């Protein structure tokens, strides 16, 4: 609703909700989790705003229709497939389209890196991965952006509704009393 207000179309919410149900049906009933829920609603908003169904189809919706994200839940409507100008190709496993990341991570962080540490480096920026790997001591050495205690202390200085706070991060402990 907030986004519809930002776009200046809160009065079209009911129309967009109805179109969302139609788009989901037309796409073969994809599961309504991220990112597919966003794709469906985006397509519905485009359809309503342009006054024509599937006049514009985002690339992400086309990739979905091609099977880029995996096997489709159901059969998309012939109209949407024709408008998207794509063919569904379930023959290739979606994971085959992604370059292997582990060899590059091992090259960058060393072969002695544990599988857990490699996963941290795969999912987090280096400064956060290092902090998570080595606990608070290493995180506090990484720079100002990784000072959780400083952030907590700054926040608590402005508060008046507590008498004592005690927290621990790795092997560092902080107690604040008023």
Q: Name the domain count of the chain.
A: 2
pLDDT-derived band of residue 51, with 50, 70 and 90 as boundaries?
Answer: very high
Residues in CB range of 125: below 8 A, 6 or more apart: none
* 16 and 89 belong to one structural domain: yes
Residue ranges making up the domain that contains 79: 2-95
Q: What is the mean pLDDT of residues 137-142?
A: 51
Q: How far apart are CA 148 and CA 119, in angstroms?
A: 22
* 9 and 90 belong to one structural domain: yes
pTM: 0.56
* 81 and 110 belong to one structural domain: no
Q: What is the pLDDT of residues 91-131, one digit of tens each?
A: 777 777 778 888 888 888 877 777 878 888 888 887 777 66
Treating both helix axes as pointing N-terminal to C-terminal, what angle do 36-50 and 13-26 enclose, rounded to 10 degrees?
120
More confident residue, 22 or 173: 22
């Amino acid at each position: 609703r907030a986004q519809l207000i930002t776009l200046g179309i809160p009065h079209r919410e009911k129309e967009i909700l109805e179109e969302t149900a139609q788009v989901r049906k037309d796409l073969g009933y994809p599961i309504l989790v991220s990112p597919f829920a966003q794709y469906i609603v985006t397509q519905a908003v485009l359809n309503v705003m342009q006054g024509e169904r599937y006049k514009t189809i985002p690339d992400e919706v086309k990739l979905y229709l091609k099977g880029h994200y995996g096997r489709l839940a159901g059969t998309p409507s012939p109209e949407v497939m024709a408008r998207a100008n794509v063919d569904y190709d379930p023959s290739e496993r979606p994971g085959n389209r992604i370059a292997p990341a582990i060899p590059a991570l091992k090259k960058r962080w060393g072969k002695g890196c544990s599988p857990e540490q490699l996963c941290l480096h795969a999912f987090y920026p280096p400064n956060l991965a290092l902090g998570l790997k080595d606990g608070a001591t290493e995180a506090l050495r990484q720079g100002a952006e990784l000072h959780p205690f400083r952030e907590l202390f700054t926040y608590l200085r402005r508060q008046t509704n507590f008498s004592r706070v005690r927290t621990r991060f790795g092997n560092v402990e902080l107690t604040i009393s008023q």
